[in-house]
């Protein structure tokens, strides 16, 4: 049992390891890869959103600048510009038209290259026409009335490239906040546009603008020439420096998208959790399946082990082979073959031993019988002679009769012994007619049977072949069996004798209606001197003699199982 358990556990461990190790390794790799892919996808998606917003912002500002540049160029190419004629109202019309065409213009000034106002609004505060060259944005974002605006200067150059004026516009950047607010963001995410000083220009949430925001992502964004991402303090951020856009050159703006990692990677974490959960379930199922498989695999092995133990202990009764798949089933069959052969060998050895013993007994009996027979004859003869001389009332008569009777009984025993011994040399080559022998036996026993109120019923076909046995020995066997049947029925009954031809043998069955033979006695019933009769009623040699005689014919005799009485079955080869 211990070995079986050990084997079961080993199989279970192997199956478990075969399931656990690949599952854990493949699962871990899959989780890691999946997590990396999802995180990469989150960053890529957020970067795409930031780029898209940046491009949209760029396009809006580009449109504004292009409109101002075209208007400025057209204005610069007017004849009065080149020859410096006094304004004929074209300047004011230019400013009005550009205000209409560029909706994000909050204020617009047209100044000369020297910085003198020509038309439109006053120059925005902080714009210094004396230092820079009016080539683009002229300052960072400022907040006017809470609205972010950026001053932008567009050169009005003539077709020859000559600078004839500058359009200085304040662009209302509130549209950026509106664009950010309309962006479809992931959970917890926010978009922020900061200027070069880290001042929040616009944001997607309701947080304040116009205040500095110098978290790591903003710092990184302001120092980066293009875009990138970072993960810091539980926040994943992507950014793009808007200076990389064509229309935004000169402006140190950055757009930053920040999202808590818990939200950004929620899908990855949920996928990881589900993968682990389903992996664990699959693993548990695999282990349960493995346990069942191990038990199923080792159960027949356990039965085989128990069977082998039993065989080793000498308990080899026939049993159905242990069933099992493949080699296990084959092993079970082979073990039963071995057990059967061991049983046969054991039986053969026992039979040989018994045969030796019986042979010894036979030899000894023959010797003793030969030596005892003559004195017995003498004793019995003198006892008879002395009885003849004694009257019936003679006081010695009873004793003499007892001597004679016992001597006769002893002579009968000796005769039995001599019969037993003689079977060694029984001639198997002779033949006998069973029907004739039976008729002779019934005639011989008829008086005895009648006294015992035992009828004999014969069922013997007439056309039976002869058997390979001596008629005398066959008669002896049948007499013994019929006498035993009669003795088994002290109150009378019917002794049945039937015979039939079965292949190369005749089968003769002799049965009675007596109490039958106890199970404990069945194995010894053919042993010499074994008898179930009362003391003095039998010698215990009758069935032993029968056995030896039949065996000498290469036949068999056995006691059949029957519900009532005893039935002896004798198989005799045909001649």
Under the rule (CB under 8 A), what is the footprint of other proteins?
Answer: 112-115, 128-139, 155, 157-163, 166, 196-198, 207-208, 211, 213-217, 219, 222-226, 233, 235, 237, 241, 243, 246, 249-252, 258
128 vs 344 by CB, closer to other proteins: 128
Contacts of 51 (CB under 8 A, 6+ apart): 227, 240
| Nearest distance, CB of residue 82 and other proteins, angstroms | 9
Nearer to other proteins, 249 or 554 (CB): 249
Residues with Cβ within 8 Å of 202's Cβ and at least 6 positions away in sequence, in order, are 148, 173, 174, 176, 177, 179, 180, 192, 193, 209
**Two tokens at 508?**
């003769």
Name the minimum Å distance from CB 269 to other proteins: 20
Cβ proximity to other proteins: between 265 and 420 the closer is 265
- Looking at the DSSP bridge assignments, the partners of residue 108 are 169
Helix and strand numbers (H, E) in the chain are 13, 15
Packing angle of the helix pair 542-552, 471-487 (nearest 10 deg): 150
Min dist CB 208 to other proteins, Å, is: 8
Least separation in angstroms between CB 169 and other proteins? 16
What's the 3-state SS for 244-298?
HCHHHCCCCCEEEEEEEHHHHCHHHHHHHHHHHHHHHHHHHHHHHHHHHHHHHHH
Helix H or strand E encompassing 121: none
- Sequence-distant (≥ 6) Cβ neighbours of residue 76 within 8 angstroms: 156, 157, 158, 162, 164, 165
- Please identify, using beta-carbon distances, which residue of 245 and 420 lies nearer to other proteins: 245
Nearer to other proteins among residue 32 and residue 211 (C-beta): 211
The pairing of beta strand 105-111 with beta strand 163-172: antiparallel
Q: Which residues of 487-524 are buried (b: 16+ CB within 10 A; e: fewer)?
A: bbbeeebebbbebeeeeebbbbbbbbbbebbeeeeeee
Nearest to 431 by CA among 254, 284, 277, 572: 572
Residue 91 or residue 258: which is nearer to other proteins going by CB?
258
Cβ closest to other proteins, residue 149 vs residue 222: 222
Q: How far is the CB of 244 from other proteins (least distance, A)?
A: 9
CB atoms within 10 A of CB 222: 20
Least distance in angstroms from the C-beta of 139 to other proteins:
6
Q: Which is nearer to other proteins, 147 or 157 (CB)?
A: 157
Best CA proximity match to 50, nearest among 149, 150, 185 = 185
How near is the Cβ of 273 to other proteins at its closest, in Å?
25
Q: Are 103 and 116 in contact (CB under 8 A)?
A: no
Q: Whole-number minimum distance, CB 265 to other proteins, in Å?
A: 16
In the complex, minimum distance from the CB of residue 111 to other proteins, in angstroms, rounded to a whole number: 9
Nearer to other proteins, 69 or 552 (CB): 69
CB of 211 vs other proteins, minimal distance in Å: 8
For residue 100, the minimal CB distance to other proteins (Å) is 27
Centroid of chain to Cα 208:
63
Closer residue to other proteins in complex, CB, 89/208? 208
Please identify, using beta-carbon distances, which residue of 67 and 414 lies nearer to other proteins: 67
Least distance from other proteins to the Cβ atom of residue 24, Å: 37
Minimum distance from residue 40 beta carbon to other proteins (Å): 20
Cβ distance to other proteins smaller for residue 144 or 562:
144
Looking at residue 162, what DSSP letter applies? -
- Of 271, 273, 279, which is closest to residue 37 (Cα–Cα)? 271
Separation between Cα atoms, residue 499 and residue 507, nearest integer Å: 5
Give the span between the Cα atoms of 189 and 238, in whole angstroms. Answer: 11
- CA nearest to 513, candidates 558, 564, 478: 564
Distance (Å, whole) CA 461 – CA 477: 19
Q: Which is nearer to other proteins, 246 or 360 (CB)?
A: 246
* Sign of the alpha-carbon torsion through 434, 435, 441, 442: positive
Q: Residue by residue, what is the 3-state secondary structure of 516-549?
A: CCCHHHHCCCCCCCCCCCCCCCCCCCHHHHHHHH
């Amino acid at each position: 049992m211990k070995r079986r358990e050990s084997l079961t556990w080993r199989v279970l461990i192997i199956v478990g390891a075969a399931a656990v190790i690949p599952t854990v390794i493949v699962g871990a790799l899959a989780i890691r890869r999946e997590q990396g892919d999802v995180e990469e996808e989150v960053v890529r998606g957020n970067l795409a959103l930031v780029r898209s917003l940046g491009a949209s912002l760029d396009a809006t500002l580009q449109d504004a600048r292009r409109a101002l540049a075209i208007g400025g160029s057209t204005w610069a190419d007017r004849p009065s510009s080149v020859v410096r004629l006094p304004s004929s109202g074209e300047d004011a019309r230019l400013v009005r038209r550009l205000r209409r065409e560029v909706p994000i213009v909050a204020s617009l000034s047209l100044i000369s290259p020297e910085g003198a106002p020509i038309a439109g609004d006053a120059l925005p505060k902080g714009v210094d026409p004396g230092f820079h060259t009016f080539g683009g944005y002229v300052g960072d974002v400022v907040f006017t009335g809470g609205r972010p605006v950026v001053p932008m200067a567009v050169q009005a150059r003539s077709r020859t490239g000559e600078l004839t004026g500058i359009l200085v516009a304040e662009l209302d950047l509130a549209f950026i906040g509106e664009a950010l607010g309309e962006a479809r963001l992931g959970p917890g995410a926010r978009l922020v546009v900061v200027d070069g000083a880290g001042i929040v220009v616009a944001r997607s949430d309701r947080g304040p603008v116009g205040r500095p925001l110098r978290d790591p992502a903003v710092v990184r964004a302001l120092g980066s020439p293009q875009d990138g991402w970072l993960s810091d303090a539980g926040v994943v951020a992507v950014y793009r420096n808007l200076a990389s856009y064509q229309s935004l050159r000169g402006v140190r703006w950055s757009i930053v998208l920040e999202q808590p990692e818990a939200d950004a990677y929620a899908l990855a974490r949920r996928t990881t959790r589900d993968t682990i959960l389903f992996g664990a379930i699959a693993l548990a199922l695999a282990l349960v399946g493995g346990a069942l498989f191990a038990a199923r695999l080792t159960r027949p092995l356990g039965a085989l082990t128990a069977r082998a133990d039993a065989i080793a202990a000498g308990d080899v009764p026939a049993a159905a082979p242990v069933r099992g798949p493949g080699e296990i089933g084959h092993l079970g069959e082979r073990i039963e073959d071995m057990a059967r052969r061991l049983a046969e060998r054991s039986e053969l050895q026992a039979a040989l031993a018994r045969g030796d013993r019986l042979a010894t007994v036979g030899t000894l009996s023959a010797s003793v019988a030969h030596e005892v027979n003559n004195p017995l004859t003498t004793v019995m003869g003198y006892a008879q002679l002395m009885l003849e001389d004694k009257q019936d009332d003679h006081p010695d008569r009873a004793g003499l009769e007892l001597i004679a009777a016992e001597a006769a009984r002893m002579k009968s025993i000796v005769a039995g012994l001599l019969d037993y011994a003689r079977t060694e040399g029984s001639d198997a080559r002779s033949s006998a007619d069973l029907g004739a022998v039976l008729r002779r036996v019934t005639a011989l026993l008829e008086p005895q049977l009648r006294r015992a109120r035992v009828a004999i019923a014969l069922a013997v076909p007439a056309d039976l072949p002869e058997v390979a046995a001596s008629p005398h020995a066959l008669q002896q066997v049948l007499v013994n069996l019929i006498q035993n049947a009669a003795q088994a029925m002290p109150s009378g009954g019917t002794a049945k004798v039937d015979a039939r031809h079965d292949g190369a043998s005749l089968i003769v069955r002799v049965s009675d209606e007596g109490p039958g033979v106890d199970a404990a006695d069945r194995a010894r019933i053919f042993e010499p001197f074994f008898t179930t009769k009362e003391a003095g009623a039998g010698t215990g040699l009758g069935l032993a003699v029968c056995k030896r005689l039949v065996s000498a014919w290469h036949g068999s005799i056995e006691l059949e199982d029957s519900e009532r009485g005893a039935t002896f079955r004798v198989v005799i080869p045909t001649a």
